[in-house]
Chains A and B, each alone.
Chain A
Amino acid sequence: MRLLHAENVEDIALGAAVLGTGGGGDPYIGKLMGIQAIREFGPVTLLSLDEIDDDALIVPTAMMGAPTVIVEKLPKGDEIIKSFHALESYLGQKITATMSAEAGGLNSVTPLTVAARLRLPMVDCDGMGRAFPELQMVTATLYGVSSTPFAMGDEKGNSVILNTINNRWTETFSRSITIDMGCTALIACYATTGKELKEWGVPNTITLVEEIGRTIREARRSKTNVVEAVRQVGGGFEIFQGKIVDVQRRTEKGFARGEAVFEGVDEYDSQTLKLQFQNENLVAMVDGEIMVSVPDLITVLEAESGEPITTEALRYGFRVTVLGIPCNEKWRTPEGLALVGPRYFGYDIEWVPVEERYGQ
């Protein structure tokens, strides 16, 4: 158990952008919201998984919607309160704590703002160990935990509760309601007992993202190799170093799909990397061969500063290093791969763990 203060938020938001694998929303807004919430309501208690009682009720919270809208229509701040109270009445039980459903991106900080405002603790874990584009892509699904009752709220005070037969339907309905709400919504989902969470939760991710963010900050200050420091603390492998020479994007079913091409520099001279994404990075192909794919993490960092680059920010001319980080073991089962593996995204390949290809 420890307290999270305003100064921890910056590290959390930055490290979370690394695990965001190109998606996860705008880290700057997330950081500001977290800092404001703690300034106004006080520090947040972070509990480790083993400090949670088996019969505790934990409800993950997150923001859902379009990254481009979130930077324009900022939240009111208390959207989740009505939804949370509605869930409590519905479930007939007080909620013990909240947590992140998706530690990659700004949803590492969103539950922190909820925790601060409601004066609840936050659990040091998440449901992905990274970011993914669709709601059902949470480890809870693999353990039969339902995403519903699912509450969503907007800034006007509307709150909606959903009940569905499976988590895929929750994604469908909630995506549609999010659009009606103006493409941003605060959600509370996957209500779970402490006992269940100890099975499905990806442990210690908040601490991990904070450590990654702190590593970046300290490496920049001491002017040492930021990317290498991130690689080490994240347990990843260097896939490529190069310059972006082409970026193509198209919108398909509300998701930004696309491809970026990188030309190698230094020891990668004369090699080409193609990165394909659907909000988050999906596969990295070097000279035509898929070398890393979901569910492993592919993250693009600016070569000198180590700044993580979202898929929306990819631009012709950036000098970058691409890292591959092994995903949590829960994704490596047949069920996990069916939910978030390459075949789900349309790549007819067997998933090969990144550490198998790159480990020495």
Chain B
Amino acid sequence: MRMGVDVGGTNTDAVLMDGTKVVGWFKTPTTPDVTSGITTAMRTVLEQTKIPADRIKAVMIGTTHFTNAVVERKRLMKTAAVRLGLPATECLPPMVDWPPELRDTIGDHKYLVHGGHEFDGREISPLDESEIREVAREIKSKGIRAVAISAVFSPVNSSFEERAAEIIQNEIPDVSISLSHEIGRMGLLERENAAILNACLGDLARAIVESFRKALVEMEIDAPFYLSQNDGTLMSAEFAEKYPVLTFASGPTNSMRGAAFLSGAKDAMVVDVGGTTSDVGMLLRGFPREASVAVDIGGVRTNFRMPDVYSFGLGGGSIISQEPLKIGPQSVGYELITKGLVFGGSVLTATDIAVAGGLADIGDPGAVKGLDAALVRQALDEMQSMVETAVDRMKTSVEPIPLILVGGGVILVSRKVAGASEMVKPEHFPVANAIGAAIAQVGGETDRIFALAELPRDEALAQAREEASEKAKAAGADEETITIVDVDEVPLSYLPSNAVRIRVKAVGDLAL
């Protein structure tokens, strides 16, 4: 059996799965330290289902620890950013566009050295090893133990980043190093930013992984555990210690993957209605469509793979204001069960409207019987319109496709949404996110430039597929199950040799 856990803004959910069957689940409020909520959720599921701990073969956790740390500017290490690219790139040093207080939190330590490659693999400058050693010594003398290394065009040629890492590790044996080519894509500043964010989370990553390990030991669960990544695949505990930044958007991704699994749909829209906001995403071949623009994390511009999710302010706890009629964006959130009218409170919320409209039987329906019928109708129309507008934004064609509803607030969406071929509300919809975590696979991705004048297109594609599959295998995938789930090709303007950027993603089942 697998235990899947997902930490949300309001609740932490756990689910126990036996193959494709849901054996039990539990939803508990998310705790400030995050870990206690996770432990409570897991323990309760085991108690309720009376499944012995030794039946659990794997634990998958989707957490918000690392996003929270960046957003709250807490528990971040002092970090040195080393960029290989001189004489180029000098006009815009590392962290030039960071929010000042975040830059200061990690210390604003930046070093530009010679190196980097041109778009076609020529060196910009040869690597100057003594220069790098000098930088390493200075970093060591400052007591900094986290370093991010970024080289120009490292997705095309990573050798300089790797050699620089060797030199720095040699000078500072206990330093943890993040290499930009392993974390981000083409676009120096965004990729460098992703690497720096990853590096500063090093201590926290080790602490969190350790606390998960301890929690499992206490629960007598003797099984490997994995963390959910942004793209819906899993990473091992060891991998998570090195790449915490890849967990940032795992929540919305898990919801969508769970929705896909529960409904059996591969291409569909997913609307996850929460307590304060709803997220809409598109599923393509069972995975969330990825955002194609730069993603802002805590005010820092990054470009690693993130799901394309549109959030809008409609949730179960959304406060209804009148004259003019407005739904949210303020919400009572998890206080719904004390503040909502149907729960004896005095705040008119979206949930109250749903009950008044006969869409749900929650709390005391008598408390909303006296609501003005026109108001209820108007509010229901407005909520429907909000969902339809959001869905329309995210659809990629006029073709109607299934719309899967998940999350605790699904009662708010009652009527058929325009553009949906069918409305699907799967069983276990409240814990679709934990299910998404539990059923996740492992994957690998390759993203680089090929010169089609030198390598024919089908060979380049084959090479990219091979590279991605190898990475999936290295991540722990069972070779027999590896499939290619995405191929993206973009010809590049103004570059000679018919340059094209090819991105391939491969996934496979966890070899347990």
Write out the residue numbers on chain A whose beta carbons fall within 8 Å of the beta carbon of B153: 72-73
**CB nearest neighbor in B for A75:** B91
Within 8 Å of chain A (Cβ to Cβ): is B108?
no
Within 8 Å of chain A (Cβ to Cβ): is B394?
yes
Assess the A313–B492 pair: CB atoms within 8 A. Answer: no
CB contact list, A57-109 vs B, under 8 A? 65-69, 71-77
Within 8 Å of chain B (Cβ to Cβ): is A2?
no
CA distance A75 to B186 in the complex (A): 16
Known: A157-B87, A256-B493. A69 touches B119 (CB 8 A): yes
Within 8 Å of chain A (Cβ to Cβ): is B130?
no
Assess the B91–A76 pair: CB atoms within 8 A. Answer: yes
Bits for A171-215, please: 1 = Cβ < 8 Å to B, else 0: 000000001001100000000000000000000000000000000
Total chain B interface residues with beta-carbon distance under 8 A: 44
Please choose the segment from A29-37, A42-50, A160-168, A228-236 that sits at the chain B interface, where 4 or more of its residues have CB less than 8 A away.
A29-37
Known: A182-B122, A313-B292. A33 touches B92 (CB 8 A): yes
Assess the A76–B495 pair: CB atoms within 8 A. Answer: no
Write out the residue numbers on chain A whose beta carbons fall within 8 Å of the beta carbon of B493: 66-68, 251, 254-256, 279, 311-312
Within 8 Å of chain B (Cβ to Cβ): is A155?
yes
Assess the A316–B187 pair: CB atoms within 8 A. Answer: no
Assess the B92–A32 pair: CB atoms within 8 A. Answer: yes
Assess the A251–B500 pair: CB atoms within 8 A. Answer: yes
CA distance A254 to B96 in the complex (A): 32
CA distance A183 to B119 in the complex (A): 8
Assess the B118–A73 pair: CB atoms within 8 A. Answer: yes
A177 to chain B, nearest CB (A): 12
CB contact list, B88-127 vs A, under 8 A? 88-92, 96-97, 116, 118-119, 122, 124
CA distance A36 to B97 in the complex (A): 10
Which one of A74, A179, A183, A279 contacts B91 once the chains associate, using CB atoms below 8 Å? A74
**CB nearest neighbor in B for A256:** B493
Write out the residue numbers on chain A whose beta carbons fall within 8 Å of the beta carbon of B398: 245, 263
CA distance A69 to B394 in the complex (A): 30
Assess the B186–A29 pair: CB atoms within 8 A. Answer: no
A172 to chain B, nearest CB (A): 14
Assess the A183–B490 pair: CB atoms within 8 A. Answer: no
A57 to chain B, nearest CB (A): 26
- Closest 5 CB pairs between A and B? A256-B493, A77-B91, A66-B494, A317-B396, A74-B89
Given contacts A68-B494, A155-B87, A183-B118, 16 further A-B contacts (CB under 8 A): A32-B189, A66-B494, A67-B493, A67-B494, A69-B494, A69-B495, A73-B88, A74-B89, A74-B189, A245-B397, A249-B491, A256-B494, A312-B490, A312-B493, A317-B289, A317-B394
Interface, chain A (partner B; CB < 8 A): 28-29, 32-33, 36-37, 65-69, 71-77, 113, 155-157, 179, 182-183, 243, 245, 249-251, 254-256, 258, 263, 279, 311-313, 315-317, 319
Interface, chain B (partner A; CB < 8 A): 85, 87-92, 96-97, 116, 118-119, 122, 124, 152-153, 186-189, 282, 289, 292-294, 301, 392-398, 490-496, 498-501
